[in-house]
Amino acid sequence: MISVDKYAKVDLEIVQQLKSIVGEQYVFVDEESLSNYAHDETENLHFPPEVVVKPRTTEEISQIMKLCNDALIPVTPRGAGTGLAGAALADKGGVLLSTERLNSILKIDERNHQVTTEPGVITEVLMEEVKKLGLFYPPDPSSRGSCFIGGNISANSGGHKAVKYGVVRDYVLNLEVVLPNGEVIWTGANVLKNSTGYNLTHLIVGSEGTLAVVTKIVLRLIPLPKYDLLMLVPFRNLEQAGEAVSEIFRAGFVPSGLELVEIDALKIVSKMVDSSAVPVTDDTAAHLIIEVDGNDMEVLMKDMEAISELLTKYDIGELYFADDAQQKAELWKLRRRVAEAVKLVGYTIEEDTVVPRAELPALIKGVKELGRQFDFKVVCYGHAGDGNLHIRIYKEGTPNSYGDAAMNQCLRALFELVFQLGGTISGEHGVGLIQKSYMNIVMKEANLRLMRDIKRAFDPNNILNPGKIVDL
């Protein structure tokens, strides 16, 4: 293990060696390029690397890793830069390794319902390509139109469909990865069942580029559902909206999507995209977006009618049903762009809390109380169906939680509440740089020790995305 001050700097010789590996046109040291890759979507943080490298092949990545491991130069893997935990920030300098040129879908295996892809493929592009063949890749993060599938692997992303279909880890069969020393391995096999030793595939998924660089991905697919129905439900009480989520599942229904959007967030995003698709009244506190899907339209209609009837026990407004594909797309567009919209108006600090869904009302109530206690504005939205509430904070003069002692105090109180409710500090965004100081709230020292030991086993020189998830 090495300390930060013992990392080598990227000198001219290293730059020349990188150019010999990937080609001169794919190595960048100019100020503009370094600045462009100095940030992701995490707060307003900015950490320029010393050099940006854009390889095209597994072999090139292998050579880069061997070079940097031998020279003790830190390497930060990066996909599209849509992350929200700082996992793709080169806060130690060194090499920023972009996977954007590894952007090919290599094979769609219709017989076995599998797809093999490189990590730089945009998630929505992959989803649409398999859809043409009647196949379905369910994980769909809000940034699916720009994020890379490799980044989804890194963070174990979820999205709106996770409540019914699960998260990224549930669809990854096998990974080709480059280890920090340059060795190339496959982590598993292209099969649905595998009990052959430790599950390295699942270990890599969600490891945020700290253990290996993913270069090829084999995903399982499922048949594409034929139909879906979408309903919007306005609630006059925010906590009741949270209560209704649990009630729907207790009644035996499993929606394909169940999203909560607080009214303040909805007003902001509606204004940004100039949309009136979602009706807003003065007494509305939040909306639930409820989707069901399947292959029998009659069954879906009965389910939606029953859910509607169930919700009449709450203080709700007029139900809104999306009648066609355009209306559905408009509603989902509003939901997907909430994070972008609220950040633009100052809600730059985002937390990705998750609790058992029956505890959502208590979490919502607690978040509002913390806002009053610590004097910050807060809006809530997220994947209510699986208890995953995104909390956006706006505190005048505090654009970042990272490095801010006062805001860290606020967040520690928030995460202690989450833990008391049986939850944890990240549902789908990962730990990265900004959440690692709170890991001791939800994990014992023994847990953290094992994580550090795993990191050392993969990366004894601590050069691959160092300082993310855990410190060595």
Closest CA to 123 of 87, 88, 166, 79: 79
CATH class of 342-439: alpha beta
The pLDDT confidence band at residue 4, using thresholds 50, 70 and 90, is: low
- Strands 51-53 vs 95-98: parallel, antiparallel or unpaired: parallel
Residue 5: is its pLDDT beyond 90? Answer: no
Residues of the chain with CATH 3.30.43.10: 4-101
Instruction: State residue 278's pLDDT score.
Output: 82
**Burial, 6: exposed, middle or buried (Cβ in 10 Å; 0-12, 13-18, 19+)?**
exposed
Q: At what angle do helices 325-336 and 263-272 cross, to 10 degrees?
A: 110
> Cα–Cα distance between 404 and 387 in angstroms, integer?
28
* pLDDT bucket at 3, cuts 50 / 70 / 90: low
CA 330/CA 275 separation, integer angstroms: 8
d(CA 124, CA 141): 9
* Average of per-residue pLDDT values in the chain: 96
The sign one gets for the Cα dihedral 183, 27, 214, 107 is negative
Find, among 264, 245, 448, 451, the residue nearest to 354 by Cα: 245
Residues 287-303 pLDDT 10s: 999 999 999 999 999 99
Q: Give the end-to-end CA distance of the chain in Å, rounded to a whole number.
A: 7
Q: pLDDT tens digits for 193-217? A: 999 999 999 999 999 999 999 999 9
- Tell me the C-alpha distance between 415 and 423, whole Å: 9
Cα–Cα nearest to 25, from 54, 66, 48, 49: 54
* Amino acid code (one letter) for 82: T
Tens of pLDDT, residues 429-443? 999 999 999 999 999
Q: Are residues 185 and 177 in contact, defined by beta-carbon separation less than 8 angstroms?
A: yes
d(CA 323, CA 214): 41
Confidence of residue 1 (pLDDT cuts 50, 70, 90): very low
CATH entry, 4-101, from 3.30.43.10, 3.40.50.300, 2.115.10.20, 3.80.30.20: 3.30.43.10
H-type alpha helices, 23-103: 31-36, 58-71
**Separation between Cα atoms, residue 239 and residue 138, nearest integer Å:** 29
- Cβ(262)–Cβ(286) under 8 Å? yes
- The token duo for 255 is 């929606």
Q: How distant is the alpha carbon of residue 453 from its chain centre?
A: 25
Residues forming CATH 3.30.70.2190 domain(s) in the chain: 227-339
Which class in CATH covers the domain with range 227-339? alpha beta
- φ and ψ at 120, to 5 degrees? -90, 10
The candidate with the shortest Cα–Cα distance to 28, out of 5, 63, 55, 4, is 55
> 418 burial class (0-12, 13-18, 19+ CB within 10 angstroms)?
buried
For the stretch 136-150, pLDDT in tens is: 999 999 999 999 999
Query: Where in 401-454 does DSSP place strands (E)?
Result: none
346 — alpha (psi -120 to 50), left (phi > 0) or beta? left
User: Which residues in the chain are classed under CATH 3.30.465.10?
Assistant: 105-223
Work out the number of other CB atoms within 10 angstroms of the CB of residue 326.
10
How many beta carbons lie within 10 A of that of residue 312, not counting itself? Answer: 9
Q: What is the DSSP string of 143-179?
A: TTTT-BHHHHHHHT--BTTHHHH--GGGGEEEEEEE-
Q: Is the pLDDT of residue 461 over 90?
A: yes
Fold of 105-223: 3.30.465
- Report pLDDT digits (tens) over 347-392: 999 999 999 999 999 999 999 999 999 999 999 999 999 999 999 9
